[in-house]
Amino acid sequence: MQCGMKRIQDARLYGIVDLGYVTPEKVEHITARLCSGGVDVLQLRAKKLAAGEIERLARLMLLITREHGVPLVINDHLEVAAAVGSEGVHVGQDDDAVAKARTVVGSACFVGKSTHSLAQALAAQKEGADYIGFGPLYATGTKPDYVPIGLQDIAEVHRLVTLPIFCIGGVNAARFDEITAAGAKRVVVVSAFLLAADVSGEVRSLKQRLM
């Protein structure tokens, strides 16, 4: 990991370049805008692309993210993360276990896990994840099949789990105050950034409110 690279423990604002919202041709541009705006960590999520195309995009993103000291996380594809040497990898509840992920990506790569309840959050901590995503807080177009969990468990999950907890799912500027009032310290933002007229400005604006 190069000098100046942010640690996941210090990250507050997590962006995702989701290929459900961004065409492959725009990945570099969006990555640059998110990084210049000030995201602390960035994930590449491409549910429908072949592994070879995901690896190609990840390599393009790494040229930008490393320049900004922003860790790049690969969603789901352990082999891609290992091949490109990304700083992190993220697995879902139905994907590979944290231990298996570590055997593929190695000890230098941090491993995050999606959780949708207090029980899953505690299980991910016991499993040895480096951070968790907690949500979806609201109904979201990114994950239409997931029932939103609401805000009521945010304070409790922060009491019980010592890992970095990134609240995810429908996070945007309009809901931001109620999310932080419920106890969130870190958030993941997807469509609110990717669909913004001024991506960097939207990132900067939300990051100031997280301080």
Nearest to 49 by CA among 82, 72, 27: 27
Backbone angles phi, psi at 82, to 5 degrees: -65, -40
What CA–CA distances, in Å, run from 90 to 114, 122, 183? Answer: 8, 17, 23
State what percent of residues in the chain have pLDDT above 90. 91
User: Which carries the bigger pLDDT value, residue 94 or residue 10?
Assistant: 10
Q: In this structure, is residue 85 part of a structural domain?
A: yes
Q: In this structure, is residue 2 part of a structural domain?
A: no
Report how far residue 16's alpha carbon sits from residue 2's, in angstroms, rounded to the nearest whole number. 21
Domain count, the chain: 1
Which residue range is the domain that position 64 belongs to?
A: 8-210
Q: In this structure, is residue 203 part of a structural domain?
A: yes
Each residue's pLDDT tens digit, 60-83: 999 999 999 999 999 999 999 999
How high is the pLDDT of residue 166?
98
Q: In this structure, is residue 35 part of a structural domain?
A: yes
Each residue's pLDDT tens digit, 8-40: 999 999 999 999 999 999 999 999 999 999 999
How high is the pLDDT of residue 125?
97
pTM: 0.95
Q: In this structure, is residue 3 part of a structural domain?
A: no
pLDDT at residue 96 is higher than 80: no
Each residue's pLDDT tens digit, 134-166: 999 998 776 677 789 999 999 999 999 999 999
Q: In this structure, is residue 1 part of a structural domain?
A: no
pLDDT at residue 1 is higher than 50: no
How high is the pLDDT of residue 95?
67
The CATH number of the domain holding residue 147 is 3.20.20.70
